[in-house]
Amino acid sequence: MMKALITRKVGMTTIIGSDGTLTPITILSAVNNQVIGKRTVEKDSYSALIIGAEKAKKLSKPLAGSFKEIKEMPSVIREFRIDENNDQTNVGDVLKADIFNVGDTVDVTANSKGKGWAGTIKRHGFHRGRKTHGGRSYRRVGSIGSMYPQHILKGKKMPGRMGASKVTTKGLKIAYIDSESNSIGVKGAVPGPKKGLVILREAK
């Protein structure tokens, strides 16, 4: 069975082990995860599950034709690739936190916190210019060009928008599962702000 959930980041806390060790974890809440559709090799040329989560709304007529098995359309929808031969998940199945086990290795994907417009020191870790002996360029970029090729190359490290981009953190461990509240505790930090959308899937 494919292990994947659409979750929301609740925040960070610490759990205490039986030997007294402290483990920092990020709490993720999985709300109303359900399989609402399926892609097949015969019809779509690839295999995938369509999972919906969170608050539902009534289906419009075009969507009702595509998703005949469900009556309400979730507000968040994501698609996950699967191996059709090894997956027994069916449309309508409800996915909960207990599909994972403590100790499982997972990958988490989320949009990182937006930092706004940032200079090269904050964005790329450039050194500051000298403040003595006549130095007047403290936080400027410095020289960005040369005699050849007489234009700025693509990918040059420059000031610009920082953060608010899709980030995947791989190899995190699940340290805590609460089946009643449908919550999962992932060891370590997870990208994004509180209440941010986090995609949790089993590491390959």
Check residue 67 and give its pLDDT. Answer: 62
CA distance 56 to 58: 7
Do residues 10 and 92 share a domain? yes
The reply to whether 50 and 140 lie within a common domain is no
Q: Which domain holds residue 182?
A: 4-116+165-202
List b or e across 14-40, with b for residues whose CB sees 16 or more CB atoms inside 10 angstroms: eeeeeeeeeeebbbbbbbbbbbbbbbe
Q: Are residues 68 and 137 in the same domain?
A: no
The pLDDT assigned to 57 comes to 64
Q: Whole-structure pTM over 0.85, yes or no?
A: no
Chain CA centroid to CA 175, Å: 18
Number of domains in the chain: 2
Q: Are residues 96 and 178 in the same domain?
A: yes
Task: Sheet with 94-95: list strands edge to edge.
Answer: 72-81, 48-58, 33-39, 94-95
The CATH number linked to 181 is: 2.40.30.10
Query: Is residue 42 domain-shared with residue 103, that is, in the same domain?
Result: yes
Residues pairing with 183 in the sheet: 29, 178
Hey, what amino acid is at 101? Answer: N
Instruction: Give yes or no: residues 63 and 145 share one domain.
Output: no
pLDDT of residue 17: 87
Q: Over the stretch 38-56, which tens digit does the pLDDT of each residue have? A: 888 988 899 999 999 987 6
- The mean pLDDT values, 10 residues at a time, for the chain of 204 residues are 91 92 94 88 90 74 57 83 82 90 95 96 94 91 82 91 96 94 94 95 90
Q: What residue ranges in 17-142 does DSSP mark as E strands?
A: 22-29, 33-39, 48-58, 72-81, 94-95, 105-111, 114-118
Strands 166-178 and 105-111: antiparallel
- CA dihedral 129→135→137→138, nearest 10 degrees, is 50
Question: In this structure, which amino acid lies at residue 190?
Answer: V
